[in-house]
Amino acid sequence: MKNYEPVMGLEVHVELNTKTKMFCRCSADYFGKQPNTHTCPVCLGLPGALPYINKQAIENCIKIGLALGCTISPTSLFERKNYFYPDLPKGFQTSQYRWPLCITGNLKLEDGNLIRINRVHQEEDTGKLTHLGGETLIDYNRSGVPLVEIVTEPDFKDTSQIKDYAKKLQQLFRYLGVSNADMEKGDMRLEANISVRPVGQKELPSYRVELKNINSFRFMVAAGEYEIKRQITALEKGEKISQETRGWDEDKKSTYVQRSKEEAHDYRYFPEPDLPQLTIDNGQLTILKTTIPELPWEKSKRYVEELEIKKADAEILAEDKKLAEFFEETLEHGVDAKDIANYIINKKIDIENTHPGQIIEQLKKKKTGVIDSLEELEKIAKKVIEENPNFVEIYKKGKTTVIMALVGAVMKKTSGKADAQKVRSILEQLLTK
């Protein structure tokens, strides 16, 4: 019996939180609004209406590309993706295909693996269908909302990598401030391409199954796991797996066929004649680069390396940009970063209603357990000297910087409740005797 391994790629759609829609001036904030009130001739696809590009959306798309290490195409094109669906008023989606805005980037996962990004491109969302009994209602408030699609290479080896990748993207969107990336509201949508091959085989499998319309990280993992097992079982039985699109049935905990290969669309892409070529000049790009903030995984790495904060704590602090900014504001007040980190995390500080200064004050108050008795400090220092004869020897040989190690040991014994300067002079006196 052969061993099989999954080959998986991910497509992520994210709705941008721009004020207006991609190609018209309607408000893009459609969630929970009265149906068909955020519409105009353009996003309703009325005869004669034309698209006009939202520059903010393009900038946001470029920011995502830059943060993922993509090359930004100096020239790119919009194309029409032609297909019929009642939620698509023009009969085509204005998207990008042959000439996307951002190409070839990557994202590093927690486990150190690199996921290659094939493309990040700009497109528009469709309207929303609601099926009520025998009738279908169409709400075009969402029609034309800016949408960015991020496509990976088939680099995922297991579903935990998929989850990690998707969560990192979600963090990224929020850090960049380009999207709320709320899965439940449909701001962020996942599609996975899954196939399996015998371990050792280099070529990609000849088929792929697309998992579509999955609206939570948990369901994506469950559907992915199910699909990997289903495909391996089928291959072991010698069956051929067909290229198809499948959805996830949460009640039955299984995937099901949504569309077979025969029903696959020929989208008849061609360059959107209503829009000029998109040109990004270097000056524009330089400015945009300066707006990319330190990213969450960069922050947590820095917290660990420079501030000596535990990895788990660093990740908690960096996860949300507001929390990270709050934390960073409390630094540089002479209070130990680790103490601040512990305090914020353990006390579950409500950063919305707390000023960073308050945290410093509270921590300084705690410090009033300071030992100022010289006798007591001398006692502890002597004990430390006794316990560390090797350090004493090094010190006496002239390498006096080793005294810091002894200071550290005293501080540890006093749980930090001593003045480091005082401890140092006591230790120096004791050692030169």
Partner 1 sequence: MSDITSLTLTQTLQALKDKKFSEQELNSSYLNRINTLNSKLNIFLEVKKNTSGIPAGIKDVISTKNIQTTAGSKILSNYIPPYNATAVERLLEQGVSIIGKTNCDEFAMGSSGENSAYGPTKNPWDETKVPGGTSSGSAVAVASDCCVFALGSDTGGSIRQPASLCGVVGLKPSYGRVSRYGLIAAVSSFDTVGPITKSVEDASLVLDWISGGDNYDSNAKVEKFTLQPQGLKAGVKGLKVGMPKEYFGEGLDNSVKKVIEEAIEKLKELGAEIVEVSLPHSQYALAAYYILNPSEISSNLARYDGIRFGQSRETIGAEVKRRIMLGTYSLSSGYWDDYFAKAAKVRTLVKMDFEKAFESVDAIVGPVSPTVAWNLGEKVDDPLKMYLADIYTISANLAGIPGLSVPCGFSEGLLRSVNHERSLPVGLQILGKHFDEETILKVGYAYEQITDWHNQKPDLRFKI
Q: What does the binding site for partner 1 look like in residue numbers (CB under 8 A)?
A: 41-42, 45-53, 80, 82, 84, 86, 89-92, 266, 268-270, 273-276
Residue with smaller CB distance to partner 1, 140 or 391: 140
Q: How many Cα atoms within 13 Å fall on the side-chain side of residue 59?
A: 17
Residues 6+ apart with CB under 8 A from 352: none
| In the complex, least distance from residue 29 CB atom to partner 1, rounded to whole angstroms | 21
The closest alpha carbon to 293, from 318, 265, 260, belongs to 318
Contacts of 104 (CB under 8 A, 6+ apart): 70, 71, 116, 117, 118, 119
**Angle, helix 321-330 to helix 337-346, in steps of 10 degrees:** 140
Q: Which residues touch 402 (CB under 8 Å, ≥6 apart)?
A: 391, 394, 395
Question: Closest approach of Cβ 280 to partner 1, in Å?
Answer: 16
What is the sign of the dihedral through the CA atoms of 397, 399, 405 and 406? Answer: positive
CB of 89 to partner 1, least distance (A): 6
Smaller CB distance to partner 1: residue 266 or 281?
266
CA distance 171 to 192: 19
Q: How far is the CB of 300 from partner 1 (least distance, A)?
A: 42
DSSP one-letter code for 369: G
**Min. distance of Cβ 84 from partner 1 in angstroms?**
6
How far the first Cα of the chain sits from its last, in Å, is 76
Nearest distance, CB of residue 142 and partner 1, angstroms: 17
Nearer to partner 1, 274 or 376 (CB): 274
Q: Write the CA distances from 258 to 212, 249, 255, 290, integer angstroms.
A: 9, 11, 9, 44
Q: 34 or 286: whose CB is closer to partner 1?
A: 34
Give the residue with the Cβ less far from partner 1, 91 or 198: 91
Minimal distance, residue 139 CB to partner 1, in Å: 14
Closer to partner 1 by CB, 50 or 374: give it: 50
Cβ nearer to partner 1, comparing 84 with 256: 84
- Residue number, 90 or 168, with CB nearest to partner 1: 90
3-class SS at 211?
strand
Nearer Cβ to partner 1 (90/174): 90
**Distances from the Cα of 5 to the Cα of 158, 197, 205, 218, 235, angstroms:** 9, 6, 11, 21, 12
Q: Of 155, 177, 185, 78, which Cα lies nearest the Cα of 121?
A: 78
Nearest to 407 by CA among 397, 393, 396, 430: 430
Nearer to partner 1, 275 or 430 (CB): 275
Q: Is residue 94 within a helix (H) or strand (E), and if so which, with residue range? A: strand 92-95
- The least distance separating partner 1 from the CB of residue 54, rounded to whole angstroms, comes to 11
| Distance separating alpha carbons of residues 372 and 161, to the nearest angstrom | 53
Rounded to a whole number of angstroms, the minimum distance from the CB of residue 51 to partner 1 is: 7
Q: Nearest distance from residue 102's CB to partner 1, in Å?
A: 21
